[in-house]
Every structure is written in C-alpha cells, then in structure tokens.
Amino acid sequence: MMAEKNKTVYILLTDTGTVLTKVIQWYTNAPYNHVSICFDDRLDEIYSFGRKNPGNPLIAGFIKEDVYFGTYRYFDDTRCLLLKIEVSAGEYRRIRNVIESFYHNQERYSYNLLGLFGVAMQYPIHQKNKYFCSQFVAEVFEKSGLQLWRQPTALISPNDFLMHPQFELVYEGSLYHYPLLDHGLLSIAPVAPRYAYRQPFELLKKKLTL
C-alpha cells in the first residue's frame, strides 16, 4: 500500500492600508497585519477572522474570504505575502475538519478585539468562541496536531507566520498583480468604491483638525 503524499497549505498575509491596520502597524512595526489560511495557490478558498461588512470593522467574525467579490475589492491596493507549508495527509485532513467545524458553526463566533490588546501587552486573552485572525489560524494548526509555537495561540501575530522557518515564501507584492489569480474574472468583478469606507474617517479627521 502506497503512503499518502504530503499536502500543501498556504498562508496569506495582507496589508489593506485601513485606519485600523495602520494603527496596528504603527505599534507593531510589522509589514502585514492580517493573516488567512488557504487551501490552494490560486486563492480560491481562503478563511480567516475579520470584517463581515467591508465598511464596518466592528462587525467581524469567522469569514470565507473572496479576492474577487469580497472585502478585498474595497482595498484594491492591498499588498500581500503568500507562504506555504507542507503537512502530512493526516494533518491536512485534520486541518480541513477544523475549518469545516468553524464554517458550519460560524454564527457562534465573533472577533476577539480584546485579544489584540493582550498581544500588545504579551498577556494572552482567551474569550469563548472569539478569535482574532492570527489566533484563529494558529489555533487551526494546533488543533490539527501541529505545534508550531510554544506560546499560546492568543499571543500569535501575523508576523510570527512571516518569521517562522517552516513557512516558505511563494509570492510578495500587490494582491491584484498575483499571477495565479483569474484575471478574466477580475476584469468583470467591479472594484468597490473607496469612499464607501473612507468617508467616515475623512470626516472625523476634518473635525479633529478644526
């Protein structure tokens, strides 16, 4: 009986340039502030914890991301870094099962905003059924039997994936210049109006400078 071949799992790090990510970047001095887990190098199947409504970062939870018609289309100048890691067939199945459990119970989950402050203070803040993006991805690996870090998942940041020696670089640059995207589909997928999410912040800035 032939042994099952190893599988590849991908990690997508992104920087959308939003006000929230700029604040996080100012504090962390890290180039990317959002992380997702992917199951193919064409970025057709991506999961994370993030905003459910592109215009409102406070409405967030478990999401299946879509680079063609989802939130990223509001941030067409998004920069990204794609990593990959090789796992055994058994580990891959367990990763799939963990993601499937999140997917089928997604209404239970919300965003661990308080946990971001815990990362800043190096004090892990676990909240039941609440995750931030890097905590979620790290938890998926941990629940699947891959112990990639010694610290709790609530202390893992996107930069920890970038710095981890087991992840191999695939691509870095503009998300929408990534060569394996379906550029025919991109050509017909409308870019969302940037004012839809920037206008409230621009008004706030004007009031603060008066």
Domains defined for the chain, CATH in brackets: 7-209 (3.90.1720.10)
184-191 own/partner pairs: CB under 8 Å, 24+ apart: 185/68, 186/68, 189/68, 189/69, 189/73, 190/73, 191/73, 191/76
What is the average pLDDT across 191-198?
A: 56
Looking at residue 156, what is its pLDDT? 96
Looking at residue 193, what is its pLDDT? 62
108-141 confidence digits (pLDDT tens): 999 999 998 899 889 999 999 999 999 999 999 9
Helix 89-104 × helix 133-143 angle, to 10°: 130
Give me the phi and psi of 93, to 5 degrees please. -60, -40
Return the closest-CA partner of residue 21 out of 158, 139, 121.
158
**Cβ proximity of 162 and 28 under 8 Å:** no
**Distance of CA 27 to CAs 47, 61, 93, Å?**
25, 23, 37
Other C-beta atoms lying within 10 Å of the C-beta of residue 101: 12
Q: How far apart are CA 47 and CA 58, in angstroms?
A: 18
**Cβ proximity of 33 and 79 under 8 Å:** no
**Cβ proximity of 47 and 31 under 8 Å:** no
Q: For residue 20, how far is the Cα from the chain centroid?
A: 14
C-alpha Rg value of the chain to the nearest Å: 17
- pTM for the full predicted model: 0.87
Q: Does the pLDDT of residue 24 top 50, yes or no?
A: yes
At 200, the pLDDT band (50, 70, 90 cuts) reads very low
E runs forming strands in the chain: 7-15, 34-38, 46-53, 56-65, 79-87, 110-111, 130-131, 168-174
Other C-beta atoms lying within 10 Å of the C-beta of residue 39: 18
Q: Does the pLDDT of residue 190 top 60, yes or no?
A: yes
